[in-house]
Amino acid sequence: MPRFKLTIEYDGTDYVGWQRQANGPSIQGALEDAARAYCQIDALVQGAGRTDAGVHARGQVAHVDLTRDDHPDVVRNALNAHLKPRPISVISAEKVTEAFHARFSANERGYRYLILNRRAPPALDARQVWWVAAPLNVEAMHEAAQVLVGRHDFTTFRAVQCQADSPVKTLDALDVTRDGEMIAVTTRARSFLHHQVRNFVGTLRLVGEGRWTAADVAAALAARDRSAGGPTAPSTGLCLMHVGYPDAS
């Protein structure tokens, strides 16, 4: 059967996450339902990142094997037709070889976390940002973030229920920038631990408020203890922006 690489965006607010689960609607489940309606078969859609409940994506990547060898544009359009009216869109479809695997072929994942930093609450972006009314020092947050870049044991920033074999990861970048009232925390790595980015953001907020320093972040990292880190930021502001691969396959 032909294999297709799908690039997908979605609003994860009303979903239990990427992975199909019995306790509510999932992104994977919606895509598999659309594939079934299109090809009249049960198809497994495998994603590059298992985003949590409420987390969004602009560049999620998945692959699926279909019985129909249609043009990629036809595949994209058919899946989108069957996804309506869900807030899920297949941005592109591309035919790839059986060697391509959305998850295991990936060599980079990039996330962005948005913080709306103003006194007034959001009316239009409430599902896409974390509203923080207290002023935040972005320069201090960025400086503290650099403590976390590199290869470390990230136990302090790992969810207790994380199932990864090892807490050791290499963080390629972690940047904090401001554009008016919006603060963006952007990060890149080959892979991430469960809640790692949200735990980074919750900790960096403490720095932005002046309650922690970069030295406190370094001490928390060295502690290798989840209780030593800051709180977990809510899922609303997190978005999977892109997934990288070593070639264009």
Q: Which of the residues are catalytic?
A: 52
Residues with Cβ within 8 Å of residue 66, at least 6 apart in sequence: 1, 2, 3, 4, 35, 38, 39, 41, 43, 75
Burial zone of 29 (CB within 10 Å; 0-12 exposed, 13-18 middle, 19+ buried): middle
**Contact indicator for 24, 5 with CB cutoff of 8 Å:** no
Give the C-alpha separation, 190 to 156, whole Å: 19
Give the C-alpha separation, 163 to 44, whole Å: 22
CB burial string 162-198: b at 16+ within 10 A, e below: beeeebebebeebebebeeeebbbbbbbeebbbbbbb
The angle, 0 to 180 degrees and rounded to 10, between the axes of the packed helices 214-223 and 196-208 is: 150
Peptide bond into 85 cis (omega under 30): yes
133 CB neighbour count, 10 Å cutoff: 11
97 CB neighbour count, 10 Å cutoff: 9
Beta-bridged to residue 184, according to DSSP, are: 114, 177
- Which residue, 230, 235, 247, 206, is CA-closest to 57? 235
